Amino acid sequence: MIHASAIIHPQARIGTNCVIGPFCVIGENVTLGDGCHLLSHVVIDGHTTLGRENQVYPFASIGLKSQDLKWKGGVTRLEIGDRNVFREGVNIHSATDDGKATVIGSDNLLLTYVHIAHDCVLGNRIIMSSYAALAGHVVVEDHAILGGFTAVHQFCRIGRFSMTGGCSRIPQDVAPFMIVEGNPAETRTVNKIGMDRHGISDEAQTALRQAYKIFFREELSIPNALAKIETEVPPLPEVQHLVQFIRSSERGVTR
């Protein structure tokens, strides 16, 4: 199932039942897992590994050299899990430093012209809408949704089950379970619909709303807000994750 016009390096490793469409280019150090489907005009290069059943649409560019000016050579990697969908024009870069990797998990949906820069780490079941862009070293946790044209600054983290509004500028971390929007972004409310869709319990949602009001609306200092949450809010796993995420933030949390 390889089109005659595709150019595949003889050392590339291609799994079983892969479909490689017209005018695709696959580099020497690329591994495609079983059942991957490259529609047409796809470029995959560098030390890049894709797991099983990934779909890659036309004009995607995956695994090429970092755009980071600090890049000095060496072996850098891109590691991709299973069942991801990369729509038209998506570009994903390898890491910057020798031995490092850009990492993408499984079951993610990246829509048209999404950009993922060097050294980013994405979890699972993430949706990035068209033209959303991650600068280098960004971490995106499971089930996050990034609205169209969202721009995320270097070294930021996007928490699990969070959502960014379209055209948002993200210069600081986005707390788990929250919705942020704006330029620069502000935290607007909890992501109730997202939590409902993924079966977060009513008890946990009530506790997260209480934590949201304390941290984002009472204008307390971060240490005092976290202390109040730990004193007054039930210590459910979701609340503990929120508190730990905020406490470990290096860039600060979007408030």
Out of 63, 136, 147, 159, pick the active-site residue.
Answer: 136
pLDDT in tens, 107-163: 999 999 999 999 999 999 999 999 999 999 999 999 999 999 999 999 999 999 999
CA distances from 63 to 28, 47, 196 (A): 12, 7, 35
pLDDT in tens, 234-248: 999 999 999 999 999
Q: What angle do CA 202, 206, 208 make, to 5 degrees?
A: 115
User: What number is the average pLDDT over the span 179-197?
Assistant: 97
pLDDT in tens, 30-54: 999 999 999 999 999 999 999 999 9
Q: How does residue 60 score in pLDDT terms, banded at 50, 70 and 90?
A: very high
β-pairing, 157-158 vs 30-32, is unpaired
Residue 96, pLDDT score: 97
Give the pTM.
0.97
Residue 113, pLDDT score: 98
Tokens of 237: 């796993």
Tokens of 221: 């200092």
Residue 39, pLDDT score: 98
Out of 119, 148, 165, 173, pick the active-site residue.
Answer: 119
User: Among 157, 129, 133, 121, which residue's Cα sits nearest to residue 145?
Assistant: 129
User: What number is the average pLDDT over the span 217-223?
Assistant: 97
CA distances from 16 to 35, 37, 56, 188 (A): 6, 11, 16, 47
Query: Could you give all domains of the chain from N- to C-terminal order, each with its CATH number?
Result: 7-191 (2.160.10.10), 196-247 (1.20.1180.10)
Active site residue 119: yes
β-pairing, 25-26 vs 7-8, is parallel
Active site residue 118: yes
Measure the CA–CA gap between 186 and 244, rounded to whole angstroms.
Answer: 20
SS3 readout for 96-153? CCCCCEEEECCCCEECCCCEECCCCEECCCCEECCCCEECCCCEECCCCEECCCCEEC
Out of 93, 118, 143, 241, pick the active-site residue.
Answer: 118
Q: How does residue 90 score in pLDDT terms, banded at 50, 70 and 90?
A: very high
Cβ proximity of 162 and 195 under 8 Å = no
Mean pLDDT, the chain, rounded, equals: 98
